[in-house]
């Protein structure tokens, strides 16, 4: 079997293993809050499929620094993101990974701690100005316990990766 | 199409490289070649024709970090099946074994990485039982059989 045939056969069977659709665009008043070093991020709870601790990261060639490699989630390769590299240009070893529910891609976000699920009134969530540097990868922000929490935009993260990979 | 593809497995220490056997038409032992090309040489004479020579350790070194080239013993030359009009030979001093895996154990890369890494020759991965990653390479694609120097030029 040639590599092209293997690729074709794997592509044909891939759709069967997809997880269900997730609407990560829709802003909810309920957020799943997690830490990456000192940074706090949030996602809609329904965007997170699973939290897995202690995954080894396998290196990949030619990827931007915020992609440390692949992780093995139940036998499937997932692209690992290091958000601290994106936001602070520093590496952050991940204690656990948030496995996202996405239709088109396998993505896991490294984090150091899973904090809590918070319910917030919509008025306490502010959107970013388009020119805000942090806003490139975020839909909104809110204050929680005196700390700023950034609501991640997964489509923006994936768009950045696509752009960086050319 | 076989659902248990044959692959050549080469041990690189912290990871393995898998080469689909179907990509190669012939294997030639170094002992069968009168004038062995030097390690790193980008071409060889195959049946009187100058043929592109890709040293697997060089190729892997450009993909993955900290690969020390092995140059002892006799190399094996994997003759890449002819694609389009170009022929290439993949050479390695490393020992290898021919194995079969169920197709479903090979996993395509996540969609966001597939195109870019596919151009580099990285097609799929397999998580082995010891939680060790095996990289399935397509060194026969025209882009990925470029020498390191060629690829640096085009980067």
User: Tens digits of per-residue pLDDT, A98-137?
Assistant: 999 999 899 999 999 999 999 988 888 887 654 566 678 8
Beta carbons of B108 and A165 less than 8 Å apart: no
CA-based nearest residue to B109, from B120, B97, B98: B120
> Does the pLDDT at position B135 exceed 50?
yes
Using only C-alpha atoms, chain B has a radius of gyration, in whole angstroms, of 15
Nearest to A77 among B104, B110, B141 (CB): B110
Task: Please tell me if residue B136 touches chain A, with a CB cutoff of 8 Å.
Answer: yes
pLDDT for the residue numbered B61 = 87
Domain span at residue A123 reads 26-165
Q: Which residues pair with B10 in a beta bridge?
A: B17
Interface residue of A8, A15, A61, A74 to substitute, partner B, most B CBs within 10 Å: A61
Chain B closest CA to A122's CA: distance in Å?
32
Q: How many domains would you assign to chain A?
A: 1
Residue B59 belongs to what H/E stretch? helix B56-63
Strand order of the sheet with strand B76-80?
B24-29, B76-80, B88-92, B49-55, B43-46
Phi, psi dihedral angles at A148 (to 5 degrees): -80, 130
Residues from chain B that touch A10, judged by Cβ atoms under 8 A, are 103, 106-108, 124
CA distance A152 to chain B (A): 18
CATH of the domain at A84: 2.40.50.180
CB A60 within 8 Å of CB A102: no
Could you tell me the residue ranges of all domains in chain B? Answer: 6-154
pLDDT digits (tens, 9 = 90+) for B80-106: 886 655 678 999 999 999 999 999 999
Chain B residue at shortest CA distance from A103: B111
Nearest Cα to Cα of residue A163 among A130, A136, A141, A139 = A136
């Amino acid at each position: 079997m040639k590599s092209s045939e293997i690729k074709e056969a794997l592509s044909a069977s891939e759709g069967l293993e997809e997880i269900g659709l997730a609407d990560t665009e829709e802003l909810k008043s309920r957020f799943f809050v997690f830490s990456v070093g000192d940074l706090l991020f949030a996602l809609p709870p329904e965007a997170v499929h699973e939290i897995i601790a202690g995954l080894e990261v396998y290196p990949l060639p030619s990827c931007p620094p915020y992609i440390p490699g692949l992780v093995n989630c139940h036998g499937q390769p997932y692209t690992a993101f290091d958000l601290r590299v994106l936001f602070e240009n520093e590496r952050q070893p991940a204690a656990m990974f948030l496995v996202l529910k996405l239709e088109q891609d396998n993505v896991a976000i490294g984090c150091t701690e899973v904090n809590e699920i918070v319910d917030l009134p919509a008025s306490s969530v502010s959107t970013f100005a388009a020119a805000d540097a942090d806003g490139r990868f975020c839909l909104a922000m809110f204050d929680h316990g005196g700390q700023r929490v950034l609501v991640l935009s997964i489509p923006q993260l994936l768009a950045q990766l696509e752009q960086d990979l050319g | 199409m076989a659902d248990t593809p044959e692959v050549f497995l080469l041990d690189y220490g912290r990871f393995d490289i898998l080469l689909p056997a179907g990509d190669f038409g012939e294997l030639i032992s170094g002992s069968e070649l009168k004038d062995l090309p030097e390690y790193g040489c980008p071409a060889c004479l195959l049946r009187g024709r100058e043929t592109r020579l890709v040293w697997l350790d060089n190729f892997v070194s450009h993909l993955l970090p900290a690969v020390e080239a092995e140059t002892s013993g006799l190399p094996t030359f994997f003759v890449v099946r002819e694609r389009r009009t170009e022929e290439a030979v993949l050479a390695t001093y490393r020992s290898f074994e021919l194995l079969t895996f169920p197709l479903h154990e090979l996993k395509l890369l996540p969609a966001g990485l597939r195109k870019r890494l596919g151009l580099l020759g990285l097609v799929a991965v397999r998580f082995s039982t010891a939680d060790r990653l095996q990289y399935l390479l397509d060194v026969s694609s025209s882009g990925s059989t470029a020498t390191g120097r060629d690829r640096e030029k085009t980067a």
